[in-house]
Structure 1
Amino acid sequence: MIEIDQLTKVYDGGVAVDNVSMTVETGTITVIVGTSGSGKTTLLRMINRLEEPTSGVVRMNGDLTNSMPKHILRRRVGYAIQGHGLFPHYTVARNIGTVPTLLGWPADKIRARVDELLELFSLDPTQFRDRFPTELSGGQQQRVGVARALASRPDLLLMDEPFGALDPIIRAKAQTDLRSIQRALGSTIMLVTHDMEEAIHLGDRVAVMDAGRLVQYGTPTEIIRYPETDFVSEMVGGLDRPLRLLSLSTVSDIVEDGPAEGEALDVGMNLRDALSQCLWTGRDDAPVIRDGTVIGRVTIDAIRARAEGRQ
């Protein structure tokens, strides 16, 4: 568990982060979202003391971070940034093994951990272990950067705009991969972004910052349905809010008994895509399948009810 208690940062009389308090549960993804200058990156950097707070404290699993030597703290906290920051003269394996090497892990344990992470990120160790960063695509470099941050099994992974440099298609895949890997490893992640779509897609909880203050902290559904300020309402997109809400639910949430004709929808499809499929084909309903077997149907009326918060 990460506890942020009244954290404040002042620069030359200006307040970059203003009395922020929040708790991040173990094994979750918390996304900090806000416009440029909102204080989100400064907040992240104070957690691993790349920036020292003016006041306030951070506790990691009950331990005060300001009482730890910085090198010990940073071994407990992985850090991944936009552009990945790989060492260009190191191979992929050496990049990923950087922190375990500093920690004195034996060579066979480091190699096993490198291969484990490469496989987890869908990078065949036999093909990628000995490559250099310049031989990788942007998406592959980003995956190696995250793998490096996870290599020593840190208590917390901090990510600052990790997907900002990727094109939209690779970015969407990277987000999905991160979510799957986080679930597989049970990692605790705090991620900064300016993109509310990314925050909603990735976050178990979303922290919205404005002018250094934490203006709302809740689940994606709470943020979309019940924005607490005009700024939050603008961030979640006004008229687009019902569609964002549909992207958080799947067909399995509203599947019902009954027949339907036409191409079937998978039970795991999100309701935003299900609505698009039905509208595109001019249907009021569609059959739903799980593992190739029809288990019921989904209707446009039920999807609309979910978008309006009536279901």
Structure 2
Amino acid sequence: MIEIDRITKTYGDIRAVDSVSMTVETGTITVIVGTSGSGKTTLLRMINRLEEPTSGEVRINGDSTLSVKPHILRRRIGYAIQGHGLFPHHTVGRNIGAVPQLLGWTRDKIAARVDELLALFSMDPAQFRDRYPAELSGGQQQRVGVARALASRPDLLLMDEPFGALDPIIRTRAQEDLRRIQQRLGSTIMLVTHDMEEAIRLGDRVAVMDGGKLVQHGTPAEVIAAPATDFVADMVGDVERPLRLLSLIPAAELVEEGSAEGEALSSDASLRDALSACLWTGRAAVPVSKDGVPMGRVTLDAIRARAGQHA
């Protein structure tokens, strides 16, 4: 568990981060979202003491980060940034194994961890471990950057706009990969973004910052349905709110008996996916299946009724 306790950072008369407190549960993703200058990156950098707090403290599993030398602390905390930050003259394997090597892992243990992570990121170890960053695509470089941050099994993974440099199609895939791997490894992640859509898609909890203050901290559904301030409402977007909520609800929740024409949606697809399928094809309902077995259908009327509850 990560406890952020009234942490503050001032630069002269400017409060970049103003008495922020929050708790991050183990094995969850918390996304910190805000506009440029809101203090979100400064907050993230104070957690691993790349920036020293003016006051307040951070505790990881009950231990204050101020009780540990910064370079030792950073070996316990993974850090992934926009543009990956790989060492260009080191192979993929050496990049991923950098922190375990500093921690004194054996060569065999490092090699096994490198291969494990490459396989987890759908990159064949035999094909990629001896390549150099320049030989990889942008998406592959970003995956290696995240793998490197996870290599030592850190208590916490910090990510600062990790997907900001990727094109939209690759970015969506990278987000899906991160969610899948986080669930597989049970990692605790704090991620900074300026993109509310990304925050809603990835976060178990969303922390919205404005002017150095934490103005709302809750589940994606809570932030969408009940924005705490006008600033949060603007970030969510009043018109988009019902659609964003539909993206959080699995189609299985509205399945009813009956059949419908066309290709079936998976039961874990969202109601927003079902709405898109109906509108794109002009159908009044779409079939839903689970593991290839028909479950029933979801109707356009039912989707609209659910969206109307949150309009």
1:19 deviation in Å? 0.6
Q: Residue 17 of structure 2 aligns to a residue in which SS?
A: strand
In structure 2, how many angstroms separate the alpha carbons of the residues matched to 1:148 and 1:287?
42
In structure 2, how many angstroms separate the alpha carbons of the residues matched to 1:131 and 1:309?
52
2:262 maps to which residue?
262
1:184 deviation in Å? 0.2
In structure 1, how many angstroms separate the alpha carbons of the residues matched to 2:210 and 2:135?
40
**Superposition RMSD in Å:** 0.9
Specify every segment of 5 or more residues in structure 2 that has no aligned partner in the other structure, as ranges. none
Q: Residue 240 of structure 2 aligns to a residue in which SS?
A: helix
Matches within 5 A, 1:221-232: 221-232=221-232
Q: Residue 238 of structure 1 aligns to a residue in which SS?
A: coil
1:245 maps to which residue?
245
Output the amino acid matched with 1:161: E
In structure 2, how many angstroms separate the alpha carbons of the residues matched to 1:306 and 1:135?
48
Matches within 5 A, 1:198-237: 198-237=198-237
Alignment: residue pair count: 310
User: Is 1:126 the equivalent of 2:122?
Assistant: no
Q: Residue 275 of structure 1 aligns to a residue in which SS?
A: helix
In structure 2, how many angstroms separate the alpha carbons of the residues matched to 1:58 and 1:302?
46
> Greater shift after overlay, 166-175 or 255-264?
255-264
Give CA-to-partner distance per residue, 1:157-185, whole Å, 9 cap, x none: 00000000001111000000000000000
Output the amino acid matched with 1:304: R
1:151 maps to which residue?
151
Matches within 5 A, 1:46-61: 46-61=46-61
Output the amino acid matched with 1:237: G
1:3 maps to which residue?
3
2:170 maps to which residue?
170
Matches within 5 A, 1:1-311: 1-309=1-309
In structure 2, how many angstroms separate the alpha carbons of the residues matched to 1:300 and 1:25?
37
Give CA-to-partner distance per residue, 1:159-213, whole Å, 9 cap, x none: 0000000011110000000000000000000000000000000000000000000
> Greater shift after overlay, 276-285 or 126-135?
276-285
1:260 deviation in Å? 2.5
Output the amino acid matched with 1:242: P
In structure 2, how many angstroms separate the alpha carbons of the residues matched to 1:173 and 1:261?
29
Specify every segment of 5 or more residues in structure 1 that has no aligned partner in the other structure, as ranges. none
1:263 deviation in Å? 3.0
Spell out structure 1 runs of 4+ moving beyond 3 A.
none
1:299 deviation in Å? 0.9
Q: If the length of structure 1 is used for normalisation, what is the TM-score?
A: 0.98
Identical positions, percent: 76
In structure 2, how many angstroms separate the alpha carbons of the residues matched to 1:279 and 1:188?
38
1:266 deviation in Å? 1.8
Output the amino acid matched with 1:122: S
Q: Residue 74 of structure 2 aligns to a residue in which SS?
A: helix
In structure 2, how many angstroms separate the alpha carbons of the residues matched to 1:308 and 1:73?
48
